[in-house]
Amino acid sequence: MSMLKAAEAVREKAYAPYSGFKVGAVVRAKSGAIYSGCNVENVAYPQGTCAEAGAIAAMVAAGETELCEVTVIADSPMPIAPCGGCRQKLAEFGNGDVVVNMFTTSGETTRMTIAQLLPGAFSPQHMKGV
Q: Which of positions 91-130 make contact with ligand THU (CB under 6 A)?
A: none
> Does 19 sit near ligand THU (CB under 6 A)?
yes
> Does 57 sit near ligand THU (CB under 6 A)?
no
* Interface pick for ligand THU out of 52, 56, 94, 118 (rule CB under 6 A): 52
Over its C-alpha atoms, the chain yields an Rg (Å, rounded) of: 14
> Does 71 sit near ligand THU (CB under 6 A)?
no
Amino acid at 2: S
> Does 83 sit near ligand THU (CB under 6 A)?
yes
Residue 80 CA: distances (Å) to CA of 25, 51, 63, 117, 122: 10, 11, 28, 12, 23
31 or 116: CB nearest ligand THU:
116
How far apart CA 106 and CA 3 sit, in angstroms, is 16
> Does 86 sit near ligand THU (CB under 6 A)?
yes
Is residue 67 within 8 A of residue 99, CB to CB? The reply is no
User: Which pairs with CB-CB distance under 8 Å and at least 24 residues apart come from 41-46?
Assistant: 41/15, 41/16, 41/17, 43/18, 45/18
**Stretch in the footprint of ligand THU (CB under 6 A) among 3-11, 78-86, 100-108, 110-118:** 78-86
* Smallest separation (angstroms) from ligand THU to the CB of 127: 25
Would you call 69 a catalytic residue per the annotation? no
Q: What residues are labeled active site?
A: 52
